[in-house]
Structure 1
Amino acid sequence: MTEILVLVGSLRAGSTNKQIAETAVHNAPEGVSLTVFDGIAHLPFYNEDIDTEAAVPQSVVAFRSALSGADAVLVITPEHNGTIPAVLKNAIDWASRPYGESQIMGKPVAVIGSAFGQFGGVWAQDEARKALGIAGASVLEDIKLAIPGSVVRFADVHPKDDAEVVEQLNEVVVGLVAAVGTAQAA
């Protein structure tokens, strides 16, 4: 079983990106488990003073444990003012530590998402890839999915009912699974 941890950069209950995550989970191929980690909203802002064995918050312990148990990570993000949401950047900062021992180090990561604009959040996705790469993840630059016009496109239809989105998400997941296989063979 390939375990993929899904991080969604939106906290809004009706978020299109959360719906895309639900769609990915619902359509996971056989032998693949996708789990959405809902706890990034509970991570305190990264502060090295509390990132110690004696003081690390339980929310961070749970997050790092989820990362540790995953074979790969799928990040699904909206675009906030042309970049990644603060909550996602904060999660990446926590994932990057402790230095030299982070649970995201070398882990295959794909970044996708949707936004209202005409480019589907590509700026946010590029910024997330950059931050994740610096954090030590094995960012899959060839796996991309940016869905533009989300507010209009999904006004009357859930992404799970959009055949094109379902097919594209399947390609993303299959690509992540292939990267896990490549990483394990190395």
Structure 2
Amino acid sequence: MSSLRLLGICGSLRAGSWNRKLMLEAARIFDPAEFVDANLRLPLYDGDLETAHGIPPEVQLLADQIKAADAIVIAGPEYNKAMSGVLKNALDWVSRTKGGPWRDKPVAILSAAAGRAGGERTQMTLRHALTPFRARVLPGPEVMIAAPDREFDAEGRLVNEMPVKLLTELMADLRRAAA
């Protein structure tokens, strides 16, 4: 077990989503001292809401979790050729908080999607969206799980050798980047 704190961010709200399973599998392989599963059930970003009431407590909590993490893993589905609205909304809200919580944080991106590319467009749009935050997004190896219904067992573990190899390599790189 490492002494590192890992924050997991899943761009799907479904408890049994493939991306949640992939995020949890990444956390298991990373083997942190502490794993925090971020809550993205946030209000939709609204400048009027922010002006009237400030940053919502659940958004500030997410920003604080990002700031406190040694490393971050983001798993996101592909919705209509881009990252999910839930994930984009979280990025938009956190961008409004003080202190630049993403700055210099090592981040690994994962995706699982039913399409043949396994969430490639999610990864592309997410990398682009993270650019202004100045996070240290790892360039790879890219972990994109196509046809995820055939890639996980009943316990949520990856079953095929190549995705396990890539995810293990990516988590080792993330651990080194966080140390």
| TM bracket (short chain) | 0.7 to 0.9
Whole-Å separation in 2 of the counterparts to 1:22 and 1:115:
16
Q: CA deviation at 1:158?
A: 4.4
Aligned residues, how many?
A: 176
Contact 1:92–1:135 under 8 Å retained in 2 = no
Whole-Å separation in 1 of the counterparts to 2:82 and 2:147:
17
Whole-Å separation in 1 of the counterparts to 2:135 and 2:58:
21
Q: CA deviation at 1:128?
A: 0.6
Question: TM-score, normalised to structure 2's length?
Answer: 0.86
Whole-Å separation in 2 of the counterparts to 1:94 and 1:130:
16
Whole-Å separation in 2 of the counterparts to 1:135 and 1:53:
25
Q: CA deviation at 1:23?
A: 1.7
Q: CA deviation at 1:157?
A: 4.3
SS at match of 1:93: helix
Whole-Å separation in 1 of the counterparts to 2:166 and 2:35:
16
Select which of 154, 159, 162 maps to 2:159: 162
Unaligned runs of 5+ residues in structure 1 are 182-186
Whole-Å separation in 2 of the counterparts to 1:162 and 1:33:
25
2:40 equivalent in structure 1: 40
SS at match of 1:46: coil
Unaligned runs of 5+ residues in structure 2 are none
1:23 equivalent in structure 2: 25
Question: RMSD of the alignment, in Å?
Answer: 2.3
Q: CA deviation at 1:109?
A: 1.2
Deviations along 1:41-92, one digit per CA (max 9) or x if unpaired, are: 2x11223444469622111121111111101211001100110000000111
Whole-Å separation in 2 of the counterparts to 1:125 and 1:104:
17
1:179 equivalent in structure 2: 177
